[in-house]
C-alpha cells in the first residue's frame, strides 16, 4: 500500500470501484478502435476560443455526447463568451455531488511546423522524438499499442479527458454499475484565453454550482517522472512593472556621462535591494502571509521523486535559488525579473544616457497571498528606497519635486488555490487513483504554475483536485501536441474509479 | 583683461597680430558676399565618408583652394580610405610650425526632415527656432546680418573652418602680412566614420608630421553660453558588454520561478556593486590612474559659467551624479549603463525566466587612463563578485563547472587627450583668441565627449588645442545643420590672429 495512504483516514474499500475499473478495462479492450475513432472526430473540430463558430460546434457536440451518455446537458451562454457546457447526472441515493471540469478550447496553432495540420488528427507508431512514423487508424479488433500517439491540437490539453470520460460512462452503463455520486459536468471554452468569463458565469448561475461538494479538474500532464499524480494546488500570478527615469531626452554619454543620472544604474540598484545573494526576497513582509504546508502535505512533498540533479543538468545550472528541492521552492511566493530594458545592447547600443529603464517583475503567489497586497509590498519597498511613485509618465512639476521617480504599473492576476491533502473529500479520490495507479501514484501539494482555480476554492468555496491524464511529453501549447494512447487507457480506468469512489 | 591671462606667463603683445585681425575684418567687410558664395559652393559637394566619389571631389577642391592661397598642397591616399589633404606653407624666418586640422567629411543626411536638401545650401534670415525664413544670397556690397544662417550638412561640422581659413589667408595676403609660423594643413575625410585611417596615415608619413610644434583642431561649437572657447582636452572612450546567464532555455516562470536563477536579478545585483548611491564608481582602482588637473586648469574650470541649474531644469533633473558642477564631473572617468536587456518588458513581456541578461557599459576615460587597463578593472570587479569570465557563450562543460558565468566583450576605444592649459605652446594661442574674443573667451580644460586626439598628443607627442568656431545651436549631426554667419566672421578674425600669433 502506498505509504501516503497510511497517513490518511482509513477508508472503506469500495469493492464496486474495483469492479468499475475492471469493467472499464474490459470495455476499452473490446472497443479500442471505436474509442479512438470517436476521439479523432472530436479533435477534428477546431477549438480556438476566439473562433466562435467552431467553438460553438465543439459545445454542441459535447452536449450531444453527454446526452447520448445519459446526462442531462445544455449550453449556457453569455454575450461575447464561448458557451459553457453544463451537464447533470443524478444518482438515486447518492449523498455527494462531484463537479467534473474539462476545458474544450485549445491554444492557437501557432507558427511552428506541425507534422499534421493541427485539426487533422494523425496516428503515429511512437512519439516523433522516439522515431515514430504515421500509421493507419486501427480496425475493430486490431491490437492497439499503448505507445502509439495521436498528434492534434488539444489531443492532450484538454480534450484528453473526453476520451476517458465518455468511454468510462459507457463501460459503467454496459456493466450496469451506477456512479456513487451525483455528477455535474462543466466544460469551459475559454481557458486558454484566460477564463475571463468563468467568474461571471459562476455569479450568473450560482444555483447550478452551489451544491457541489468536490471539484475534479481534469487537465494537465502526469508527473515528469512518468508517474501518475493528483495535484492539490496551483500558484496565483500577478506582476508589477517599474520604470525609473533619467534625463527627459537621451544625452550624449560623453558630454553628460558622470553627471546625468543613469536609469540603468538606478534600476539595477533598486532591483538589487529586492533579493539577497541566494535569491530570497528581502521585501518587507513578502513571506508573512504564507499559510504553511500542513505536515501531511509536507510529507507528501518529501516523497516526490527528486528531480533537481537531472533538471540542473538539463538546464545547464550548477546552483539554484534558495534552499530546497524544486517542489518545495514552488510552494513559496516568487518575485522574478521577467524582463528588463533600457535603450539597447549589442550592435544596437549607442553612446547615450537613456531616458528610462524598465523591469517587469512577475509575482507567483501561494496560499495566503493576496495579489494586491503583494503588489503593495513591492511598491512600499520601492518607496522605502527613496522613490516617489507615479502611475503614468511623470510631468514636469513632478520631476521638479522628486529626485527619484518610479512609475509602477500593476498587472492583472489572481490568487493561489490550495486544497489540503488531508481534506476529507480528498481521501476517496486518492484511494480511487491508487486503485488504478498503485504505488506509482504521486500526491503533489502544489504546482508552480497558475490556473484560476481560486474561482472554485474561493468563489465557490469547495475543495479542488487536479486529475491529470496526459503524458508529460505532450508538447502542450506548442506545435505537434500529442497524447499517448496508454494515457487515455489510464484515464478511462481512472475516471471509472472516480465515478464509483 | 581676462583674469585667466594673469595666470599665464606674460606674453609679448603681437602688434602684427592685431593688424592681422583688423585686416581680416576689413577684408570680410569688403568681400562678405563672395566669401558666402564660395562657401556655398564648397557645401554643395556631398561629403559622407563612404561616398568615395564625392569625398574625392571634396579633397580635390580643397587642394585647389589651398594652392590658390599659396599653399603647397596635395592629396595623400591609402587604399580604401578617404584621402588626406596635406598642405604646407613655409614662412622665411619662422621658428615654429603649427598644424591646422579640419575634417571635410560630414555625417550622413539621416532620415530627418530637412528644410533644404542637405547639400543644397540655403540662406535663412535667422535660425528656424527663432522664426527664420529663406532669403536670397547677398549681392556684392549688400549688408550682411551676422544672425543669418546657412543651412546645409557640414555647414558647422566641420566645413565652417574652411569658411574662416581661406578668407583669413586672403586677408593676410591682401594686407601683405606674413604668417608668423610655418603652417601645415591636415584635412581629414573620415572623422565622422571613426578616423580609423588617421593613425595609419601618421605611421606611413611620419616625416610629414614630425616637425609640428602645436596642433590646432578646428572643430566643434563654441560654449553653450554663447561665449567663445578654447578646449584643451577630450575624454577617451571604450566599452565593456557583460552578459550573465540563467537556464539554457527559457523556462515557465510558474513552474520554475523561485528555483531557476533569474539573469535579470543576477545582472542587477552585479551592476549594483559597481557604484555607490551617488553614482561614484566603486570598482577597485577606477580613479587611481587619473592625472589630477593642474591648478591653472582647475582655476580655469572654476571660471566657466555655471550651467548646472539651467541644465537640470531643461532635462527634468533634481539631482545629478557625484559632487560638483558638470565641467568638473566630465574630467573624471565615467562608467555608464548605455543599455540593458533581458527578454522583454511592457506588452512584450512574457511569463518566462529568460536565458540571459546583458548590459552595455560605456567607459569615458581621462588623462592617465589606459583603455585596456580600465576594461581589466571592470573585469576584475566582475570576477571578484564570483563570476567566471568567458569570451563567448559558455559551453556545457563551462556551465557544469561554474555557478556564475559572465561573458565579457571589450569594445574598441582610445585614450583621452589633454594638453596643459599652461603649456608654453598654449600661451600665444590663448593670447590670440583673447585678442579677438576679449574677456568673453573661456578656457575649457576638457570636454566630456571624445575625439581621437590621442593620435596627436600621444602618437605624435604634441600639444593639441581645439579651436571651435560654430554656434552651439548648430544641429550638429542632425537634420537642419546650420552655421550662424557671425560665427564665420569670428572664425576669420580668429584664424588671422592665430596665423600671426
Summarize pLDDT for A243-268 with one digit per residue, the tens.
999 999 899 999 999 999 999 999 99
For residue B422, CA distances in Å to B81, B365, B368 come to 36, 22, 18
* Averaged confidence pLDDT in chain A: 94
For residue B18, what are the β-bridge partners?
none
Look at residue A120 and give its three-state secondary structure.
coil
Which strand (E) or helix (H) includes residue B336? strand B334-342
Nearest to A321 by CA among B406, B387, B262, B253: B262
The size of the A-B interface in CB pairs under 8 A is: 306
In the prediction, which pLDDT does B17 show? Answer: 65
Nearest to B477 by CA among A283, A347, A350: A350
In the prediction, which pLDDT does B453 show? Answer: 96
Chain B CB within 8 Å of residue A451 CB: no
Residue B150 — very low, low, confident or very high, per pLDDT cuts 50/70/90?
very high
Please count the other Cβ atoms lying within 10 Å of the Cβ belonging to residue B318. 14
CA B475 to chain centre: 14
Q: Judge: A340–B341 Cβ closer than 8 Å, yes or no.
A: yes
A224-246 pLDDT, tens digit each: 889 999 999 999 999 999 999 99
- The answer to whether residues A246 and A263 touch, using CB atoms and an 8 Å cutoff, is yes
- The answer to whether residues B54 and B38 touch, using CB atoms and an 8 Å cutoff, is no
C-alpha cell read off for B239:
566599452
DSSP class of residue A82?
P
pLDDT higher than threshold 90 for residue A396: yes
CA distance A285 to chain B (A): 17
Look at residue B84 and give its three-state secondary structure.
strand
Interval A65-83 mean pLDDT: 97
Name which of A84-88, B4-8, B15-19 the model is least confident about.
B4-8
Closest chain B CA to residue A321: B259
Interval B441-454 mean pLDDT: 94
Tell me which residue has cell 591609402. Answer: B78
A458-501 pLDDT, tens digit each: 999 999 999 999 999 999 888 999 999 999 999 999 999 999 99
Interval A93-106 mean pLDDT: 97
Nearest to B365 by CA among B465, B296, B297, B291: B291
For residue A175, CA distances in Å to A22, A172, A490, A496, B413 come to 10, 5, 18, 11, 83
Closest Cβ–Cβ partner in A245, A259, A450 for B330: A259
**How high is the ipTM of this complex?**
0.88
What b/e readout covers A136-161, taking b as 16+ CB neighbours within 10 angstroms? eebeeeeebeeebbbbbbbbbbbbbb
CA atoms within 13 A on the CB side of B223: 22
Q: Judge: B337–A264 Cβ closer than 8 Å, yes or no.
A: yes
Tell me which residue has cell 503567489. Answer: A365
A294, exposed or middle or buried, with CB in 10 Å at 0-12, 13-18, 19+? Answer: middle
In the prediction, which pLDDT does B16 show? Answer: 61
C-alpha cell read off for B329:
564631473
Give CA–CA dist B49/B188, Å, rounded. 10
Look at residue A443 and give its three-state secondary structure.
strand
In the prediction, which pLDDT does A364 show? Answer: 96
Q: Mutation target for B interface from A338, A401, A416, A478: give the one with most B CBs within 10 A.
A: A338
Q: Which of residues 340-379 of A touch B (CB under 8 A)?
A: 340-346, 348-354, 357-360, 362, 364
Closest Cβ–Cβ partner in B249, B341, B396 for A345: B341
Give me the percent of chain B exceeding a pLDDT of 70.
97
Taking contacts as CB-CB distances below 8 angstroms, the residues of chain A near B351 are 237, 338, 362
Please count the other Cβ atoms lying within 10 Å of the Cβ belonging to residue A213. 15
In the prediction, which pLDDT does A11 show? Answer: 42
Chain A CB within 8 Å of residue B256 CB: yes
- The answer to whether residues B243 and B340 touch, using CB atoms and an 8 Å cutoff, is no
For residue A246, CA distances in Å to A266, A399, B449 come to 9, 10, 19
Greater confidence (B362 vs B352) lies with B362
Taking contacts as CB-CB distances below 8 angstroms, the residues of chain A near B237 are 254, 351
CA distance A52 to chain B (A): 25
Query: A284 Cβ partners below 8 Å, 6+ apart?
Result: A377, A380, A381, A384
C-alpha cell read off for B138:
547677398
A132-180 pLDDT, tens digit each: 999 999 999 999 999 999 999 999 999 999 999 999 999 999 999 999 9
**Secondary structure of chain B: what % helix, strand, coil (to 5)?**
35, 20, 45
Q: Which of residues 257-276 of A touch B (CB under 8 A)?
A: 257-265, 267-269, 271-275
Taking contacts as CB-CB distances below 8 angstroms, the residues of chain A near B359 are 264, 268, 345
A181-239 pLDDT, tens digit each: 999 999 999 998 889 999 999 999 999 999 999 999 999 999 988 999 999 999 999 99
Tell me which residue has cell 537613456. Answer: A354
pLDDT higher than threshold 90 for residue B10: no
Q: Mutation target for B interface from A345, A356, A363, A402: give the one with most B CBs within 10 A.
A: A345
Please count the other Cβ atoms lying within 10 Å of the Cβ belonging to residue B116. 17
For residue A329, CA distances in Å to A306, A314, A447, B2, B457 come to 13, 18, 10, 71, 59
- The answer to whether residues B145 and B151 touch, using CB atoms and an 8 Å cutoff, is no
A314-329 pLDDT, tens digit each: 999 999 998 889 999 9
In the prediction, which pLDDT does B111 show? Answer: 77
In the prediction, which pLDDT does B312 show? Answer: 95
Taking contacts as CB-CB distances below 8 angstroms, the residues of chain B near A341 are 340-342, 344-345
Interval A443-460 mean pLDDT: 94
pLDDT higher than threshold 80 for residue B4: no
Amino acid at each position: 500500500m502506498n505509504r501516503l495512504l497510511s497517513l490518511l483516514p482509513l477508508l472503506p474499500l469500495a469493492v464496486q470501484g474495483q469492479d468499475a475499473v475492471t469493467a472499464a478495462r474490459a470495455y476499452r479492450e473490446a472497443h479500442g478502435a471505436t474509442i479512438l475513432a470517436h476521439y479523432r472526430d472530436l479533435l477534428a473540430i477546431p477549438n480556438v476560443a476566439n473562433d466562435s463558430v467552431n467553438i460553438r460546434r465543439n459545445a454542441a457536440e459535447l452536449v450531444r455526447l453527454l446526452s447520448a451518455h445519459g446526462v442531462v446537458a445544455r449550453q449556457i451562454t453569455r454575450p461575447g463568451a464561448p458557451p459553457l457546457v453544463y451537464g447533470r447526472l443524478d444518482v438515486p441515493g447518492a449523498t455527494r455531488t462531484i463537479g467534473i471540469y474539462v476545458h474544450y478550447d485549445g491554444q492557437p496553432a501557432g507558427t511552428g511546423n506541425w507534422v499534421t495540420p493541427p485539426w487533422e488528427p494523425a496516428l503515429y507508431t511512437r512519439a516523433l522524438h522516439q522515431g515514430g512514423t504515421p500509421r493507419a487508424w486501427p480496425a475493430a479488433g486490431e491490437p492497439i499499442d499503448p505507445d502509439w500517439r495521436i498528434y492534434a491540437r488539444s489531443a492532450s490539453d484538454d480534450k484528453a479527458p473526453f476520451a476517458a470520460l465518455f468511454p468510462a460512462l459507457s463501460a459503467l452503463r454496459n456493466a450496469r454499475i451506477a456512479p456513487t455520486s451525483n455528477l455535474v459536468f462543466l466544460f469551459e471554452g475559454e481557458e486558454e484565453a484566460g477564463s475571463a468569463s468563468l467568474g461571471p458565469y459562476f455569479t450568473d448561475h450560482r444555483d447550478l454550482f452551489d451544491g457541489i461538494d468536490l471539484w475534479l479538474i481534469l487537465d494537465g500532464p502526469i508527473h515528469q517522472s512518468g508517474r501518475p499524480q493528483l495535484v492539490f494546488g496551483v500558484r496565483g500570478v500577478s506582476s508589477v512593472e517599474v520604470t525609473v527615469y533619467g534625463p527627459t531626452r537621451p544625452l550624449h554619454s560623453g558630454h553628460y556621462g558622470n553627471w546625468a543620472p543613469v536609469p540603468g544604474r538606478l534600476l539595477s540598484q533598486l532591483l538589487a535591494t529586492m533579493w539577497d545573494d541566494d535569491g530570497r526576497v528581502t521585501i518587507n513582509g513578502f513571506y508573512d502571509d504564507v499559510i504553511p504546508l500542513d505536515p501531511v502535505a509536507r510529507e507528501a512533498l518529501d516523497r516526490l521523486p527528486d528531480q533537481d540533479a537531472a533538471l540542473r543538468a538539463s538546464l545547464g545550472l550548477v546552483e539554484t535559488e534558495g534552499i530546497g528541492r524544486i517542489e518545495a521552492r514552488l510552494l513559496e511566493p516568487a518575485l522574478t525579473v521577467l524582463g528588463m530594458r533600457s535603450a539597447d545592447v549589442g550592435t544596437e547600443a549607442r553612446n547615450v544616457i537613456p531616458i528610462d529603464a524598465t523591469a517587469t517583475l512577475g509575482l507567483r503567489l501561494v496560499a495566503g497571498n493576496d495579489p494586491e497586497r503583494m503588489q503593495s509590498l513591492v511598491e512600499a519597498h520601492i518607496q522605502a528606497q527613496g522613490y516617489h511613485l507615479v502611475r503614468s509618465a511623470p510631468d514636469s512639476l513632478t520631476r521638479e519635486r522628486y529626485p527619484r521617480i518610479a512609475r509602477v504599473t500593476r498587472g492583472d492576476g489572481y490568487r493561489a488555490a490550495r486544497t489540503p491533502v488531508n481534506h476529507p473529500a480528498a481521501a476517496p479520490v486518492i484511494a480511487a487513483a491508487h486503485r488504478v495507479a498503485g504505488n506509482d501514484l504521486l500526491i503533489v501539494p502544489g504546482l508552480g504554475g497558475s490556473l484560476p482555480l481560486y474561482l472554485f476554492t474561493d468563489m465557490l468555496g469547495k475543495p479542488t483536485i487536479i486529475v491529470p491524464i496526459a503524458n508529460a511529453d505532450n508538447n502542450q501549447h506548442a506545435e505537434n501536441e500529442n497524447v499517448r494512447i496508454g494515457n487515455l487507457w489510464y484515464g478511462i480506468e481512472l475516471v471509472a474509479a472516480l465515478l464509483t469512489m
